[in-house]
Amino acid sequence: MLEYSHQFTTASDHQEELKSARTEFLKEDREKMRDPEPCRTKLTEDTEELTDLMEESEESEELSEAEEKHHENPGEKPLSRSKTKKTFLKKRRVKKSLTCSQCGKSFTTKQHLDVHMRIHTGEKPFTCDLCGTSFTDTGRLKRHMRVHTGEKPFTCDLCGTSFTDTGRLKRHMRVHTGEKPFTCDLCGTSFTDTGRLKRHMRVHTGEKPFTCDLCGKSFTQRAHLKGHMRIHTGERPYACNQCRKTFTQSPHLKEHMKIHTGEKPYMCDQCEKRFTYKHELTIHTRIHTGEKPYACDQCGKRFVSGSHLKNHLTVHTKEKPHSCSDCGKSFSLLQSLKGHQKIHTGEKSYMCFECKKTFISANCLKLHQRIHTGEKPYKCSHCDKRFSQSASLRKHETIHSREKPHTCDQCGKSFAFKNHLKIHKKIHAAEKPDQRSLRLL
């Protein structure tokens, strides 16, 4: 807000300054009334922000009246703009008399109370002729129209980014200044705008006001509910232009694209190994710390991640609810079934940028890339021999342990490797194995 602290020398000068200040004050508040997010980019209406903006506009109108009344008293000494505003705000707090019967919020005019009530009634009388989206006030509708026209009249002088309204530009400027004027009283975290602070407070209160009508799950933000609803509708509007895989949310697509670009922005500060996703780094660091926070309640075995524990639990339940419609093979995890089905479809979405070879899964690609990098992260504890895959290490270690865990249920003969047992069973089934298989036996 503009501050005018100097004293005016004449009554006419004072009148001109008051008119100028009032005009700029009202202009800025009108812009604030147009401050909601565009519905196409973020279909959310922050109703609390709407009430705040209404109050700001209400204050500006009444402040103008207060200035005029002060100017009409010729015997009084002219006041600065800041002093006029401070005096007015003190009186205004006492003046509020109209109270919302739903939430208890107070207003000074019936018009502002009527607009506020639309928050509770859900009334949106102003509708866009182009897309049918409705709004609670004309300011929001006018700014929404810029979504269709593409108009962004407010531009940042520092980086050239343009915005549909001054409110968004002001918030953007805090990116450059680093200003975060809104602070949480409970944990001290600061934010660039009140909307972010209000959403953050729900972390402390546990409030989840947005509930799915289909399954009852609740969310802290309307945008999160919107993304969740796509699980029920099956809508996946975000498609990868490399492999055509689709996603329900834009952030999920952005994360997926790192697989194709080879980007690995997260590095372990212990061994400098890099990862595509942050959660992969988090799990990896537990190798160094020895932390295994996930414990099996059946056998007590511990794991570094929840997904590893989930996979392990199928050992106890032996449940395989996911069956392949092509060959009937069953799997304990849906993810395993999806990976298996690519064998039938021939889909190979993951490509090595070194040799252009393609693979059915990200894990297969990861294992393959070790051929190019020479990475062998699995070391034998007996002879220091290293391997690129954990399965290869386990096979190798049977040489040292002489363990033969795979036993034939027909004759009791044991084998170190499962595939050797399968070949052996052909003898009992009267199937003649090939010469190479006989040599292995």
pLDDT in tens, 250-308: 888 888 888 888 888 889 998 888 888 888 899 999 888 889 899 999 888 888 888 88
Number of domains comprising the chain: 1
**More confident of the two residues 48 and 401:** 401
CA quadruple 101, 105, 110, 113: dihedral sign: negative
Burial class (CB in 10 A: 0-12, 13-18, 19+), 144: buried
Q: Give the residue carrying structure tokens 């492999």.
A: 243
CA angle 117, 121, 127 (to 5 degrees): 95
Give the per-residue pLDDT at 190: 92
Express as a percent the part of the chain with pLDDT over 70.
Answer: 75
Query: Is the model's pLDDT at 422 over the cut of 80?
Result: yes
**More confident of the two residues 100 and 75:** 100
Give the per-residue pLDDT at 336: 82
**More confident of the two residues 185 and 441:** 185
Provide mean pLDDT across the span 340-349.
84
Q: Are 81 and 2 spatial neighbours (Cβ–Cβ below 8 Å)?
A: yes
Q: Please, what is the end-to-end C-alpha distance for the chain in angstroms?
A: 88
What confidence tier does 86 reach under pLDDT thresholds 50, 70, 90? low
Q: Is residue 414 part of a domain?
A: yes
Q: Which of 301, 259, 299 is nearest to 280 (CA)?
A: 259
Give the per-residue pLDDT at 431: 54
pLDDT tens digits along 150-201: 899 999 999 999 998 888 899 899 989 999 999 999 999 999 888 889 999 9
Give the per-residue pLDDT at 96: 52
Ranking 30-39, 87-96, 205-214 by mean pLDDT, the lowest is 30-39
The crossing angle, in degrees rounded to 10, of helices 194-205 and 47-71 is: 130
Q: Is residue 232 part of a domain?
A: no
Give the per-residue pLDDT at 204: 92
Q: Is residue 427 part of a domain?
A: yes
pLDDT tens digits along 238-249: 999 888 889 988
CA angle 200, 201, 204 (to 5 degrees): 110
Q: Is residue 206 part of a domain?
A: no
Q: Is residue 425 part of a domain?
A: yes
Q: Is residue 430 part of a domain?
A: yes
Overall pTM > 0.85: no
Q: Are 108 and 95 spatial neighbours (Cβ–Cβ below 8 Å)?
A: yes
**Measured distance CA(57)–CA(63) in Å, rounded:** 10
Domain of residue 421, residue span: 404-440
**More confident of the two residues 20 and 372:** 372
Give the per-residue pLDDT at 348: 83
Query: Is the model's pLDDT at 128 over the cut of 60?
Result: yes
Q: Is residue 431 part of a domain?
A: yes
Q: Is residue 421 part of a domain?
A: yes
Average confidence score pLDDT of the chain: 77
